[in-house]
Structure formats: C-alpha cells, structure tokens
Structure 1
Amino acid sequence: MNVLFVQGKQWFQNLSRVLTTPLFYIGDNHLSISAIVRLIILAIVVLILARSIGTGIKRLLLTPIGLDRGSREAIATVIIYIVATLGILIILQRAGIDLRTITVFAGVLGIGIGFGLQNLASNFISGLTLLFEQPIKVGDFIEVDNLLGTVESISIRSTIVRTLDGIFVIVPNIKFVENNIINWSYKDPKSRLHIPVGVAYGSDPVLVTEALLDVARTERSILKNPSPKVWFKGFGDSSLDFELLVWIDHPQDSDPIKSSLNFLIEHELNQRDIVIPFPQRDLWLKNTQDLSMLFQNINITNNIDSQMFDQNGIASEQKQNSIQPHAQKPITKSLSNWTLRDLLKRVTYFESFTDLKLRKLIEYGYRQLFPKGQIICQENDAGYSFYIILSGAVEVISEKTGKYIATLHEGEFFGEMSLLLGSPRTATVKTLEDSILFVIEQHDLQRLLEESPSLAVDISQKLCERRQALLELGLLDLNSPDNSPFNRIRNRIQTLFGI
C-alpha cells in the first residue's frame, strides 16, 4: 500500500510539474498549460456572459420600446462583441499579461499572415458595415446572387439566409458590400407584381381589362391601395399582350400569389369566353390546282355514296329531322350577367363615355352584388367607399331617430358625404331588392371626379338637397349669402381633390 501511495503521489507531482512548467514567455510573464486552460475557461465564461447580457437587453429593453427585429438584433450583436472584447482584455490584464506586448505581437503577426487572410479581413469589415449601417437587417427579405430568402442572423464573418424552400445558406458578408442587393423589405415592403396575359386577336380589350381587375380584387393578398392596373403591352405574334399589375406587402409570398392569380385568370377568361391562343404560324401551299382537283374527286365520291345510302332508305327519317329547324326559346339575360361596361352605360354620367374612357373607369371601381335586405353601410361607421347604383334600389334610414329618409334607384349614388367631409356614416343603407353597385374606394374617387367633372357637380347638388344632414353636420352658414351650400361643398371638393 505504501508503495502504491508513493507512486501515486509521485505521479501527481510529475503531472503538476508538467502543467506548471512555462511553455513560453510574453514579456516578463510566462504561460503554462494550466494558465492557458484557466484563460480558456475564463474566456468561455466571458462569452457566455456577453451573450446572456446581449439577449437580456434585447428581450427586456429593446423589445418593449418597439424597435423592429433587425434593429434589435444589430444592437444586441454589437453589445455582445463589445462585452466579450472588454471581458477578454480584463482577463488578460488580470493574468499579468502586458497588453502592449500583445499589441506588438499582433501587429507583427498581422503583417505575416495578412495577405493569407484577406477574405477573412474583408468579411470582418463588411460585417461591421452591415451591423452599423444596416442596409440589410435580420428579418429582411432579400435577393443576392439569384438567391431569395429571409435574413436570419448577421455575424462578423457571414450572414445566414433562409430561402423560400427552408434551406439555410451561409453568405460571406463581402457579397453584400460588393454586389447589388435587392432588399424587398427596405423601408417599405410594398412591391408590385407583373402578371403577363395573352389573349386571342379579336378579343375586346375592355372585357379583358374588366376580367383581370375582377381577378385582382378577388385575391385577398392584393392591396387595394395602390389600385391594380391593366396595361396593354403590345401586339404579339399570336396574341394581344396584356399585363396585370398588382401591389403586395409580403414580397416573400410573391410566388404563391402569382400562382393563385394565374389560376383565377384562367378561370375568369374561360367564364367570359375569352380565348388564350396557342402559337400560330402561317402555312403557304404550292400546286393548289392539283390539290383542288383531288378534293373535287373526293367530294364526287362522297355524293355518290350518300345517294346510294338514301336509296336504301336507311336513316332517312333522321336526316329529315336534322333538317327541320327547332323552335328556340328567347333567352333573357340577367343584369348580373351583363358586363360592367354595359351596366355603366346605363348610368347617366357615363352614357356618353367611349370604350377607352369606360376602360379607365373600370380601373377606378368594381361591381358588387348585394342581395335583398343586406345592409351596405351602417350608421356611425367610418366611410371608405362611394357607391353608384347600377341596378336595383336601396333604402336610406336613420337608426338614431328610426325615420325613413329616402329610396335611391338606378343611376343614383350614396356614400359621398363620409368621404368628402371625413365624418362617420350619417345613415344606414339597405337594399330593397337584389342590387348591383359600382364601388369606388376613397383613394380612387379623385381620379373618377377628374374624369367626370359633371359627376362632381352633381355630388355638390345632391349634398345641397340633403339640407338637413348638412345642418346637423354644421356645414351651413345661413348668415352668409355668398357662402351657399353648393359653393361650400364645391370648395370642399376642390380642396380635397384639386379639381
């Protein structure tokens, strides 16, 4: 036992001597294996502490004050690096290492290996640039080198991007400094999609415009403001080339939105009997006289066979029946199946519009069907839409007083008071029968009034006729003869829309 104890003690003494033996000197201080291990452990503790401090500041301080995700991540990353650097310097100082010696050593070492680490140094400087200037931030949707994805993290050397397929790609920071980067989320995430559509020659451009705009307003991911547009791009080899332009605020969903729009466009064009053409080529035939003689011989043979078939009395009754015309019932086309262009022409304000003007008008609003008894707008609600009755009738009532106000029919409008005066809805409007309305959003009303000044005049006159509502809103000054209700509303329209 004593021998084993002595051997074990001797072994531990040898190990202690190995661990404490100086390996090299830095200035007047030496470093042994134990000192190096101690420094490494302290450095790991400092890094963990720095990361905990950065995460805590991000969660407890930066998040409550409302900073966006990118700014929070950038600030937290800078704090982590600063705390870690200061901690490492303090550890080295406490270990008795002269930092001036390390500085000289690092300078000499940097000269030696600087040329071999050019890329690493470039990525390091680029990482600092990204963190402080923030051309891209964590959470941004970007495109770099044909790579689309969301920025997940930004470090000193590289940036991690998660693609639309869920793949994480590590991109060197120098790529974001040297190359052109598309940042879809920079300042304003709104972006415009271009959907090309080709239709057969002979298609009505107004009907194509109406169909494409109906599709755009059906898709929920499309923004109402800015409004969707339809451009006539040109005359293709086999088609009339149109382009549907829509705005979205989630650019990372652009591919699913495009797919959904293409499905809807195909369905809508089929419903309206608008043909999507195949590529066409002209075929020129030579020796047409020989071909005509061949077809004449074929026709003579067919006629002889047909006569023999009739002589045998086969299917003669069926042939006679096919010749007799069938009585056709008159087809009544419901107003709901009318095109929006035809419905708008029924309205007095637009009956003189050409097809080109009607096409522009269709871009300002859309058709909406309301069944009998449905409330279109509620009293005291905020008003964002203007309505023109294309067919049917609506009833205007005051829920506050329980009184009937008016009945509006085809060609009349309502909803203008809330838009022009910025006040809540003054009454409730409900359909008396199945009705079709032309709905115009607030941001499109200015362009409509610019296209149809007579409508602006009529709006002023209608507002004056609703004298009681204007008195309740305090718009009438009966003591001023030069400031009639008509002029006040007219001035209000000029102030709002500059027309």
Structure 2
Amino acid sequence: MTPALAWNGLIRLFNAPLLPLGSQTITLGSLLGVGLLLLVVTLAARLLRFLLAKRLLLWLGLPEGRREAIGTLLAIGLAAFGYVAVAQGMGLDFGALAVLFGALGVGLGFGLQDLTRNLSSGLTLLMEGKLKVGDLIEFEGTQGFIREISFRSTVIRTFQGSEIVLPNALITNTLVHNLSYLSSQGRVDLAVRVMHGTDPLLVTEALLAVALEEPRVLDDPAPKVVLHQIGREGLEFELWVWTAEIQNQLLLRSAMNYAIHRALKRRGIHLLGEKQVLQLLPEAGPGAPLAFDLDEQLAAIPCFANMDARRLRELVGSGARRRLTAGQMLVEKGDPGRALHLVLEGRISAIHETERISHRLFSFGPGEFFGELPLLLQVPYPTAMWVQEDAVLFEIPSGNVRLLLENRPDFAEIVLQALARRGDVLRSYESCLRERGLLREGDLGNPLQWLRGRLRRVLEPRVGGSFQSTQN
C-alpha cells in the first residue's frame, strides 16, 4: 500500500460518521478535537487558579482562604464557559437537551445534597476567613491544626500526628473553638484541691509563686488564683495562667503541675486525698516554708499599715513571696520590667557595672520596693539588681500591678510618693528617660507631679484617662 492510499484511508476513518447529533454528525476526528479542546480549557482553568491564588492575589495581600476561593471560582467560571463554547461548536442543541438535563438534575439533586452542602460550606469557610490553614482549633473534644481547606472537606492534623478529614458542612454547623483566631495567646486553667483547714492565702501564694517562676507564663494578663468552691471534702482552687503558645498547653500544664505539687509539699499543704505524714525535722534552705503569714508581713510595712483587711487580701492575692540568697543576680542591666518587687527581708543593691569597675549606687531594705519605674515608664533597668543579703521579696507581676494602679488610687499614691522620695533612684534613670524623650528640663523639680502625669499616660489606653490620683 502506497503512502497516499494509507493517508486517504486514515482520513476516511476519522471522517466516517459515527452518529448524528443535532445538525451535525459525530466523527472520530470531531471527538478527538473536542477532547483536545476540553483538555486545553481544563489546563487553562488550572493555570488561572494558580496564577490568581499564588501570584496576583498574594501580591495584593489577601489572606490564603480568600485567595483560594477567588481563584477557584474564577477557574470554575472559565472552565464552564469553555465547555459550553466547545459544546456549541459541536452543534449541540441545548434547548433539546434542557428536558433531559432537568430530569437528571432532579435526580442528582436528591442524591448529591450532602455534596452540595459541603461545597457551599467550603466556599463559606474560604471566603469568610474565620478558619484558616494553620489555625489551632478544638472540635468535639479533639484539638489540632488546620492543614488544608478545600471546597468539600477540611483536613485537621491532631497532636497525635493523625489527620482527620471533616466534611465542611459538619464544621459550619457545629461549635468550633478557634484557639488562634486573633493570636496564639490563650489561658490554661489548673485545678487544685486541698484539705479543709488549709489557709487559702497560703495556697494562693504558693500557686502564684509557681506561675511567676514559669518563663512561659505571661506577666500581662497576670496569673490569677480563684477559690472556685468550698466543697464538702475540701477547698477547690483554680490557677489561671496565660501563655503566648497555647499550642503547647499540654507541656505547660504538665510542668506546672509538677511545680505546684512541689511548692505545696514544701509549704506543708496537703492535697485532697493525700496521706498526711508527721514531719519532726523542719526543712531548711531556699525551699523551706516562710515563717510568717504574708498578710501580717505586709501589714507591718508602714506604707501599707493603713490598708484594711479586704485591701490587704487583694494585695496578697496579686503576687507571691520569693526567697533569694546573697550574691544572686536578680536583674541584669537592660532587662525589661516584669514585676514590682517589695523587700520583706534582707537587702537588694543597684549595681552600676562597666568593663573596669562595679559600683553600688543605692540599696533597698525591708519595707522598700523597686521595679515600678520600668513598669510605669516602660523602660529597661539602667542598673543591675544584686542580692546583697539573704532576702525575701514579694513580687507582683506587671499585669496585676497595672490592675492595682487602675483600681486602687490609694495604692498608686503609695507607690508614687515612695518613689518621689528616692531621688537617687530617679537620677539613675535620668539619662535613659532623656534619650527616650520622656524627661524634660525641670521635670524632676517636682517629681511627684511628674510621676502622676506619667502614670496617667500609661493607664490612658486601658481606662480612657479616667484615673484620678489621691492628693495628700
């Protein structure tokens, strides 16, 4: 067979009519041409979706969910338009097929209800952006990170390493906790139950001490201890702590439970159901229980002597005692302020260090406090704070200091007046304050008035400038 005959035979094969369709006849060649056109339309739709979601809309700064939704919708629109154009090019009569498609549509509508709901729910999730890829969510008791959101389903990766595929309609119709919607901060609640007869203030102090020693616990919002219930069997407390990495809450909870158990044991506090053991020899050293009740120690300090019992209890519940040994470095130069430190016993010195010398500037003894300036002025420590003698401090984290200053003008005035009398402390911050534009010439001529003005500016974002100092 010659090549010409073979070519003519191949042409006749592709042009041979297979079946009539509308005004045209379907041939093998037309089927191959339509298939090629449909493939081109499909590839063009996918390319459009990729360019929109990964390039153009990314450059415009749209969130991932909306980029995917817009890209997918436009790709579907392009594909539908292309498929219709190809069908019309084949000469299909859509009017004649309308009845057939209508009958099929009714049947498919009943059979594909769930698929339709999932598609519409997926579109809602992608467009709203309330749930995004990477969010930590809790769904029906299961926690995990969203790994993928498609039009039909959402994939969640659990902490155990498995993937859960959830229909989108189930997510939109069920309560979902988004633990990282605005930020990754979150609160961890720890329940502690102790025996009747235990001093609640002692338990409160022990729990707050554990929270203040844990670096993963935030100072603002500050830790909080709540006496949840006085039950038939004992006292039920809850320790509320905030962390910047809520996804690691299980590790934080474990570490704090160990520390709570150790802190309660050192103070002779028995958990509910714990077997009591008589201890004849008292403990000694840094972990030993403190000898005096905290409210009694605070009441003995002149600046707190006029506080009634209720306000003293509030002050006790805002912080915890900390025992330090001589020679320990409490704060390095340049560290940010994390707490207000009230000296109950011993002495803390402010040290100015250079490459050649280390010079002691001033010190704080029993009844004096420090750390208020870094908190009020939001500046770092200009000096190092060194434990000159074995000391016991009462530490109030920054979040609770702010609350006390907002809600207790008398406490704010105590802090300001005590600070105004310490000219040596103010002078140590002078150069730092001038560099930041917080101090002008003549401001320290009336330090109390200047400190009151700075305190109002610090509290204005939280209380709208409504703070009023108590004038003496």
What TM-score do the two structures reach when normalised by structure 1? 0.72
- 2:197 is aligned to 202
* TM-aligned CA deviation for residue 36 of structure 1: 5.0
Counterpart of 2:318 in structure 1 is: 364
Change (3 A) 1:90 1:406: same
Q: Distance in 1 between matches of 2:110 and 2:130?
A: 28
**In the superposition, relative to structure 1, how do residues 406 and 42 fare at CA in structure 2: closer, same or farther (>3 Å)?**
same
Corresponding residue of 2:146 = 151
Give the root-mean-square deviation of aligned CA atoms: 4.3
Instruction: Mark the CA change 1:76 to 1:390 in structure 2 (over 3 Å): closer, same or farther.
Output: same
Aligned partners of 1:252 and 1:99: how far apart in 2? 57
Identity %, equivalent residues: 28
- 2:423 maps to 466
Matches within 5 A, 1:67-78: 71-78=63-70
| Distance of aligned partners of 1:38 and 1:363 in 2 relative to their CA distance in 1, 3 Å threshold | farther
Q: CA deviation at 1:201?
A: 1.0
1:418 matched to 2:380? The reply is: no
Q: 1:379 to 1:268 in 2, by over 3 A?
A: closer
Aligned to 1:391, what secondary structure does the other structure show?
Answer: strand
Give the CA deviation at 1:187. 2.7
Query: 2:351 aligned with 1:389, yes or no?
Result: no
Matches within 5 A, 1:285-324: none
- Tell me the CA shift for residue 205 of structure 1: 0.8
**Which residue does 1:131 correspond to in 2?**
126
Give secondary structure in 1 for the equivalent of 2:112.
Answer: helix
Give the equivalent residue in structure 2 for 1:432: 388
**In 2, Cα distance between equivalents of 1:189 and 1:417:** 29
Distance 2:15 2:320 in 1: 83
Match among 77, 101, 114 for residue 94 of structure 2 = 101
* Contact preservation (8 Å) 2:377, 2:458: no
Indicate how the Cα distance of structure 1 residues 456 and 39 shifts in structure 2: closer, same or farther if over 3 A, else same: farther
Instruction: From the superposition, tell whether residues 224 and 491 of structure 1 become closer, same or farther in structure 2 (CA, over 3 Å).
Output: closer
Q: How many equivalent pairs are there?
A: 441
Q: 1:487 to 1:77 in 2, by over 3 A?
A: closer
Tell me the amino acid that sits aligned with residue 93 of structure 1. A
CA distance in 2 between partners of 1:218 and 1:29 (Å)? 83
Match 2:159 to one of 164, 170, 191? 164
* Letter aligned with residue 450 of structure 2: R
Spell out the pairing of 1:57-456 with structure 2 (5 A cutoff).
Answer: 58-60=53-55, 71-87=63-79, 89-90=81-82, 92-94=84-86, 96-97=89-90, 101=94, 104=98, 106-107=101-102, 109-278=104-273, 337-338=289-290, 341=294, 344=298, 347-350=301-304, 357-379=311-333, 382-398=336-352, 404-449=360-405, 450-451=407-408, 453=410, 456=413
2:193–2:236 Cα contact (<8 Å) kept: yes
Task: Give runs of aligned pairs for residues 476-491 of structure 1, distance below 5 A.
Answer: 484-491=446-453
Pick the aligned partner of 1:457 from 414, 436, 459: 414
Asked if 2 retains the 8 angstrom alpha-carbon contact of 1:151 and 1:162, the reply is: yes
- Assess if the C-alpha contact under 8 Å between 1:23 and 1:33 holds in 2: no
Pairwise CA distance, 1:202:
0.9
Name the residue aligned to 1:303: none
CA gap of 1:331–1:246, structure 2 versus 1, over 3 A, is closer
Hey, what's the Cα distance between the residues in 1 that align with 2:187 and 2:198? 26
Cα drift, residue 238 of structure 1: 1.5
Closer, same or farther: CA 189–395 of 1 in aligned 2, 3 Å: closer
Residues 252-303 of structure 1: per-residue CA shift (max 9 Å, x gap): 43344333333333333223222123399xxxxxxxxxxxxxxxxxxxxxxx
Give distance in 1, aligned partners of 2:46 and 2:218: 41
State how far apart, in whole Å, the 2-side matches of 1:89 and 1:257 are. Answer: 55
Distance 1:197 1:404 in 2: 43
In 2, Cα distance between the equivalents of 1:47 and 1:210? Answer: 67
Corresponding residue for 1:323? none
For 1:386, the aligned partner's letter is: L
CA shift, 1:86, in A, is: 0.6
Q: 1:139 Cα deviation (Å)?
A: 1.9
Residues in 2 aligned to 1:192 and 1:198: alpha-carbon distance in whole angstroms: 20
CA contact (8 A) 1:228 1:363 kept: no
Structure 2 unaligned residues grouped into runs of 5+:
460-466
> Structure 1 residues 224, 240: CA separation in 2 closer, same or farther (over 3 Å shift)?
same
Q: What is the rounded CA distance, in whole Å, between the counterparts of 2:246 and 2:218 in structure 1?
A: 12
Question: 2: distance between equivalents of 1:278 and 1:65?
Answer: 61
Deviation at 1:75, TM superposition (A): 0.8
Structure 2 CA distance, aligned partners of 1:84 and 1:99? 21
Give deviations 1:107-145, integer Å, cap 9, x for gaps.
Answer: 553234322222222222222222212332222222334
CA spacing shift, 1:30–1:452, aligned 2, 3 Å: same
Cα deviations by residue, 1:24-71 (Å, 9 ceiling, x for unpaired): 63x44555566556655655565555545545555555667766xxx2
Farther-moved stretch of structure 1 (468-477 vs 127-136): 468-477
3-state SS of the aligned residue for 1:387?
A: strand
- Output the CA distance in 1 between the equivalents of 2:130 and 2:253: 28
One-letter code aligned to 2:345: S
TM-score by length of 2: 0.75
Q: Which amino acid aligns with 1:433?
A: E
Measured after TM superposition, the shift of residue 392 of structure 1 is: 2.4
Q: Tell me the SS of whatever aligns to 1:148.
A: strand
Separation (CA, whole Å) in 1 of partners of 2:134 and 2:252: 20
8 Å contact kept, 2:227–2:237: yes
CA displacement at 1:223 relative to structure 2: 2.7
User: Larger Cα Rg: Structure 1 or Structure 2?
Assistant: 1
After superposition, the C-alpha distances for 1:197-216 in whole angstroms (9 at most, x for unaligned) are 21111111111112222233
Q: CA deviation at 1:462?
A: 3.0
Contact in 2 for aligned 1:206/1:355 (Cα 8 Å): no
Partner letter of residue 169 of structure 1?
I
Q: Following the alignment from structure 1 to structure 2, what is the Cα–Cα distance between the partners of residues 337 and 142?
A: 41
